[in-house]
Amino acid sequence: MKKTDRIVVAGAGGFIAGNLIKRLVGKGFTNIRAVDIKFIEQWYQTTDGVENVADCDLKEKDNCYRVCKGAVEVYNLAADMGGMGFIESHRAECMLSVLINTHMLMAARDVGKVERYFYASSACAYNTTLQTDAAVSALKESDAYPAMAEDGYGWEKLFSERMCRHFREDYGIQTRVARFHNVYGPFGTWDGGREKAPAAIWRKVLQAMDSGSGEIEIWGDGEQTRSFMYIDDCLKGVDMLTHGDFVDPLNIGSAELVSINQLVDYAEQIGKVKLKRKYNLGAPKGVRGRNSDNALIRKVFGWEPSTPLREGLAKTYAWITTQYETRKAGGKVVE
């Protein structure tokens, strides 16, 4: 690619895409079109020198054709999603995101000169019957079939993966698909209902310290397990996959498996506090265990996400703390 080639990033007001745009600008690309359905004031971050297209619903076909005109690369990270509390109670909304990828692929075929098309899928696409034990076997890419994805959000991701495959096979668009495993980091959601476990737990720790309650609510029994990938690792993986020759869906996630109770342990250590744990067994919990098998990404790229969770959490929690204190003082923050 030339540094002046047009790059379109969908979902630019979100966490991962916002950080991706900053990375692309840092690499010298000067023709980036950033697109999101949210008004610009609601974007998590913006970067100077970028064409920002706000209030643009990419579920609408005409909008996709308009923003993809002249694009050489497209990164589709646009989706209606959030943490487990959101996706379990907004299944229809999550599935409507299928319109975004469908119309973006059509636009890439018809009005762009797209050489590479990246699609952000999710570990929620994996067969849920393989995730019923906290001591879960790490999920390898072939475990998505036979299909039994997370209801709603996971099925939308799995279907959209197939769309990418067939647009590559039928129309020659070089599609690349990453299955993300719980990405976290600064400039991400930390309040409001769409936040994921690392951010939600730290917000609760801050609230407990602020109020003096000495208590934290944990969804489920805390023994459910996950892996969490720091944003810098995520972006490096996206770059490798988008510009490499591997064409099938690929895990991009950390293999460091922890329980939610262990995640709270880390938060307490960082906050230098010990809290009483109140378990809400009726809250959304998702699958019992999920982890990323990284054998294939090591084989293909000789690399895997490796930022230690404790290290990434410290950076993330420092940023959330600043946001929390700013909001408490009456300032404007991104939640």
pLDDT for position 14: 94
pLDDT for position 194: 85
Which letter, b or e, does each residue of 314-334 get, where b requires 16 or more Cβ atoms within 10 Å of its Cβ? eebbebbbebbeeeeeeeeeb
Partnered with residue 175 across adjacent β-strands are 117
Residue 61 lies in a domain: yes
Residue 280 lies in a domain: no
pLDDT for position 192: 86
Domain that holds residue 167: 6-184+230-252
pLDDT for position 334: 76
- Considering its fold, how many domains does the chain have in total? 1
pLDDT for position 81: 74
Residue 175 lies in a domain: yes
Residue 268 lies in a domain: no
pLDDT averaged per 10 residues in sequence order, the chain, 335 residues? 96 96 98 97 95 98 97 96 77 94 98 93 96 96 97 96 98 97 94 90 96 96 97 98 98 98 97 96 92 98 98 97 95 82
247 CB neighbour count, 10 Å cutoff? 15
Please give the Cα distance from 226 to 256 (Å, whole number): 8
pLDDT for position 289: 97
Please give the Cα distance from 302 to 259 (Å, whole number): 28
- Tell whether pTM > 0.85: yes
Please give the Cα distance from 121 to 141 (Å, whole number): 12
Residue 238 lies in a domain: yes
Residue 156 lies in a domain: yes
Residue 214 lies in a domain: no
pLDDT for position 10: 98
First to last CA, the chain: 35
pLDDT for position 333: 87
Residues whose CB falls within 8 Å of the CB of residue 91, separated by 6 or more in sequence, listed in order = 151, 152, 153
Residue 86 lies in a domain: yes
pLDDT for position 284: 86
User: Among residues 158, 76, 152, 74, which one has the least CA distance to residue 120?
Assistant: 76
- Active-site residue identified among 117, 153, 184, 324: 153
Q: Is 75 considered catalytic here?
A: no
What CATH number should be reported for the domain holding residue 100?
3.40.50.720
